[in-house]
Amino acid sequence: MVTASAPGKLYLFGEHAVVYGEPAVAAAIDRRATVTVEARDDDHLRVDSEDLTLDGFTVEYGRAAEEDPDVDVSESLIEAATGYVDAAVEQARDAADAPEAGFDVTIESEIPLGAGLSSSAAVTVAAIYAATRELGVELTPGEVAERAYRVEYEVQEGNASRTDTFCSATGGAVRVEGEDRESLDAPELPLVVGFDGGAGDTGALVAGVRDLKDTYDFAADTVDVVGDLARRGEEVLLDGDLEELGDLMDFNHGLLSALGVSSRSLDAMVWAARDAGALGAKLTGAGGGGCVVALDETEETETALRYLPGCEEVFRAALDTEGVRIE
């Protein structure tokens, strides 16, 4: 039996534009998903969801088409809970040349599901790392990141970016542009995260931006500007200039709003943070619901968000410099 964990992450700059080869800057945070894997004597998978912000449940099923999960829950819930695990296990089987391997998989997570903090990437990275170790294969974080990206690309039907899985596998701050991935020597940041309790539909949001980009030249230009902003944001981050970093975060949120991926709840949290004195605030992730991230060394933003109707959870997030690891 092997247990591995991997961190979630938030975008400082570049979400949505990164899908089109523009750069993105992201940071791993100190909330992690933990996956325990134990090999079985058959080819079945048994997935035990302890939380994942879903009702806990256990489901066991085989690889053959006639051995579908036999549980009294919705098909969409089963797909959400098992899709990434299925694909991660296939990657582990491939890496170990063990196509018939079966596993008992237990998932626990501190990361809200679908909130823009890369819960799926953290689960996928930790699952691949644990399953390959259970089969006697040791992958580097870079190899895990690449295999995890293939999982997300498959499950998200081509809408995935390498940012999530690379950041989760390596930890720290990262820059991703196309297939180029780089770790950044970033300083500690006073990050405050607000969560509205919801989750956006990543596929629909990415498709909506694509439609706008294909229809209007100014939308395509906006995507390009998001990329330019990420390039400047990287420079400012490495310089440690929090004032300008906050300004650029505000600008990035405005561009994402123009692309139609914000929401009333996200905008309300962003403005509450700014009114409380945050240096900057923006949505993080695909949008449509989920989380915002703000820069504030004081307690004012935390207090403002805690008392804001529609904000379900507020927490400080520290940069997690350690990526996937064995527990």
Is residue 280 a contact partner of residue 247, using CB atoms and an 8 Å limit?
Answer: yes
pLDDT(53) > 70: no
Closest by CA to 39, choosing from 103, 95, 90, is 103
Summarised one tens digit per residue, pLDDT across range 121-166 is 999 999 999 999 999 999 999 999 999 999 988 877 766 778 899 9
Is residue 33 a contact partner of residue 126, using CB atoms and an 8 Å limit?
Answer: yes
- 58 pLDDT band, cuts 50/70/90, is low
Local structure of residue 319 (DSSP, 8 states): B
The CA distances from residue 66 to 45, 48, 61, 69, in Å, are 14, 21, 9, 9
Summarised one tens digit per residue, pLDDT across range 240-253 is 999 999 999 999 99
Summarised one tens digit per residue, pLDDT across range 196-239 is 988 777 778 888 999 999 999 999 999 999 999 999 999 999 99
Q: Which residue segments constitute the domains of the chain, with CATH numbers given?
A: 2-184 (3.30.230.10), 191-317 (3.30.70.890)
- What pLDDT is recorded for position 65? 39
Q: Which of 70, 86, 164, 196 is catalytic?
A: 164
Length of the chain: 327
Q: Clarify whether 164 is annotated catalytic.
A: yes
pLDDT(75) > 70: no
